[in-house]
Amino acid sequence: MQLDVVTLFPEWFDWFRGQRHVANAMAHGHELRTLNPREHTPLSGGQVDDTPFGGGAGMVLRVDVMDAAMRGFYGVDPVDLRHQRRVLALTPGGRMLDEGFVEELAEEPAITLLCGRYEGFDERIVQHFASDPVSVGRYVLSGGELAAMVVMDAVLRKLPGSLGHANSAVEESFSEALGGDPEYPHYTRPAEYRGWKVPDVLLSGHHEEIRQWRRARSRERGAAGTSGSSLP
Ligand code: ADE
C-alpha cells in the first residue's frame, strides 16, 4: 500500500516511520511518503493559511495552496485524484473510524491523508479534493497529524508483514472472528501476583474450554460496551 500524508509537519512522521510495525510494513514493500504544502505554495513567504471569512479565531488552510501542492505532487487535478485513490481529509466532523472502516481502507492499494492545522481546512478542500472526511473521535486535536497516524497505524497492522505473528490481527478486538466484540482479556506469567490469579481455565491446557471462555468474555465486554477496566 502506498500511504501519502499531506502535512505542514512532515517531521512528525519520522518518529512514526521508526516504529517497529511501521518499519516492518515498509520492509515488506509498503510505502509512506509526506508532502508539505508549504514547499509548493504559490503565495509569498511560504504562506499556506489565512484568517477565516466571517471572523473567528485561528487560521484556515487555503484551498488554492492545497490544490497547488497536490497537483504538483501527483500531476493531476486533485478533483480527479480522489477517483484514482482514496483521499481522506482528517477532520473531527468526518466519518468515524471504526474497525469496519479500517478493514475497508486496508483493501486499498493507495491512500492519501490530508492533515488540517489550527482551525482546520477551507471546507472546499474537504468537498472537492477528498473522497472521505474521517474523524478519529468526537474531540478536537490541534491538527490532523495524530489522527492520520491513528488511521495508518490501524490500517498497517492489517497488512501482511506488519505484525510479527501472522494471526495477531485476525482474532483481535472487533474482528469478524470475534463477532465484532472487543477482545477477551489476556494474561501472562506470573500465574499469581499479589493474590491476583490468572483464571484456572487458561492454565488447564483444554483448548476448547479456553476458546469458549474467551468467546464468553469477549461477548460480555461487547454487551457491556467496555473493555473491562472498570475500577472496583
Ligand atoms: N483533526 C482535529 N481533530 C480531529 C479528529 N478528532 N479526528 C480527525 N481529525 C482531526
Residue nearest to ligand 1 atom 2, measured at CA:
141
Residue nearest to ligand 1 atom 10, measured at CA:
91
Q: How high is the pLDDT of residue 165?
A: 55
Whether the pLDDT of residue 185 is over 90: the answer is yes
What's the pLDDT tens digit per position in 108-154? 999 999 999 767 899 999 999 999 999 999 999 999 999 999 999 99
Cβ of 175 less than 6 Å from ligand 1: no
Whether the pLDDT of residue 175 is over 80: the answer is no
Residue 146 CA to ligand 1 center (angstroms) comes to 8
Chain-wide mean pLDDT for the chain?
92
Q: What's the rounded Cα separation, in Å, for the pair 221 and 218? A: 5
What's the pLDDT tens digit per position in 198-225? 999 999 999 999 999 999 999 999 998 7
Q: How high is the pLDDT of residue 111?
A: 98
Q: What's the rounded Cα separation, in Å, for the pair 159 and 38? A: 31
Mean pLDDT for 184-195 is 97
C-alpha distances out from residue 205 to 12, 202, 208, Å: 45, 7, 9
For the ranges 30-34, 88-92, 166-170, which has the lowest average pLDDT?
Answer: 166-170
pTM value > 0.85: yes
The alpha carbon of 27 is separated from its chain's Cα centroid by a whole number of angstroms, namely: 20
Cβ of 114 less than 6 Å from ligand 1: no
Residue 142 CA to ligand 1 center (angstroms) comes to 8
Whether the pLDDT of residue 231 is over 60: the answer is no
Percent of the chain with pLDDT over 70: 93
Q: How high is the pLDDT of residue 171?
A: 67
Is the distance from CB of 182 to CB of 222 less than 8 angstroms? yes
Residue 208 CA to ligand 1 center (angstroms) comes to 42
Instruction: Return the C-alpha cell found at 44.
Output: 509569498
